[in-house]
Amino acid sequence: MTISAATPNDRKWIENQIEEVKQHFGNDIVKIRYDLDTDWVGDPAIHFRILLPDTVADDDDRLGDVTGRVMDELVEKLGLPEADRYPYFNFRSQSEQAELKEPEWD
């Protein structure tokens, strides 16, 4: 299963894989949202928005550890290197989102 050409069934698979990754991180990740679209040069992309608890975001070592591992796991879980769909990741803390209130992060 790859996500190069996502159908509604594929989306269900994608969401299941993402949920498994999220569960693996326990309280170190609040939520993971994603969009299937294109990147800035028009290639197929998947954009992740990963919300972190303040306890992780405010600890530089934990931030580095969690962000690195979650990127690795999402890439591997979704078979992204081979899928011709390029991953992009954005991170934000709960406090930052509470201030910015951008709906795509909810």
Partner 1 sequence: MGLSQDLLDLADHLSRRERRKPKQASLRRAISTAYYALFHLLIEEATKRWSGHKDSRIGLARAFEHTNMDKASKAFQKSNWQGFDDNNVAIPSDLQKVALAFTILQAERHRADYSYAARFTRAGVRGRVKQAQRAFEHWAAVKNNPAADYYLVALLTGNRRRD
- Please give the order of strands across the beta sheet that includes 44-52: 31-38, 44-52, 86-93
Shortest CB 17 distance to partner 1, Å? 18
102 binds partner 1 (CB under 8 A): yes
Q: Is the dihedral of CA 54, 79, 40, 102 positive or negative?
A: negative
Least Cβ distance, residue 50 to partner 1 (angstroms): 9
- Compute CA distances 7 → 22, 65, 80, whole Å: 22, 33, 16
Q: How many chain residues touch partner 1 (CB under 8 A)? A: 28
Helix (H, G, I), strand (E, B) or coil at 56: helix
The binding track of 30-69 with respect to partner 1, each residue x by CB under 8 A or -, is: ---------xxx-x--------x----x--x--xx--xx-
Task: Decide: is 90 part of the binding site for partner 1 (CB under 8 A).
Answer: yes
- Least distance to partner 1, CB of residue 54, Å: 9
Q: Which of 7, 6, 46, 51 is nearest to 25 (CA)?
A: 51
Q: Which stretches of the chain bind partner 1, using CB under 8 A?
A: 39-41, 43, 52, 57, 60, 63-64, 67-68, 71-72, 75, 80-82, 86-93, 96, 100, 102
